[in-house]
Amino acid sequence: GAVVSQHPSRVICKSGTSVKIECRSLDFQATTMFWYRQFPKQSLMLMATSNEGSKATYEQGVEKDKFLINHASLTLSTLTVTSAHPEDSSFYICSARDPTSVGETQYFGPGTRLLVL
């Protein structure tokens, strides 16, 4: 199956700093990537849709100025959590849509665990 990577796998930062998370599709080009957040014992919640070469679209209740998304190439999307606070601590997961696969399946990265102190 298609491979999606994320970096870093885990990060600890101080409150008020910004953190950048990278999502890469390793063996296919993804015009669309998605960012999710998962709190402990909860399911994944879609945050935003990242489209290559255009602005991301955010789900209701997700602050676009707080969670900056850049999709600069067909294989890379980045999520920057700006001025992070302890309540932003979560498991962030990206997915990438493979347009060449049957049904244009989404494949997920391994996730990034963010802890804000």
Partner 1 sequence: DAKTTQPPSMDCAEGRAANLPCNHSTISGNEYVYWYRQIHSQGPQYIIHGLKNNETNEMASLIITEDRKSSTLILPHATLRDTAVYYCISRANDYKLSFGAGTTVTVRA
- Per CB under 8 A, 110 contacts partner 1: yes
How far is Cα 53 from Cα 95, in angstroms, rounded to an integer?
17
Binding residue (CB under 8 A) for partner 1 from 11, 13, 44, 74? 44
Alpha-carbon torsion 66, 82, 39, 116, what sign?
A: negative
- Per CB under 8 A, 67 contacts partner 1: no
Which one-letter DSSP state was computed for residue 28? S
- Per CB under 8 A, 109 contacts partner 1: yes
- Residue showing tokens 């990060």: 11
Site of interaction with partner 1 (CB under 8 A): 1, 4, 6, 32, 34, 36, 43-46, 49, 91, 93, 95, 97, 103-111, 113
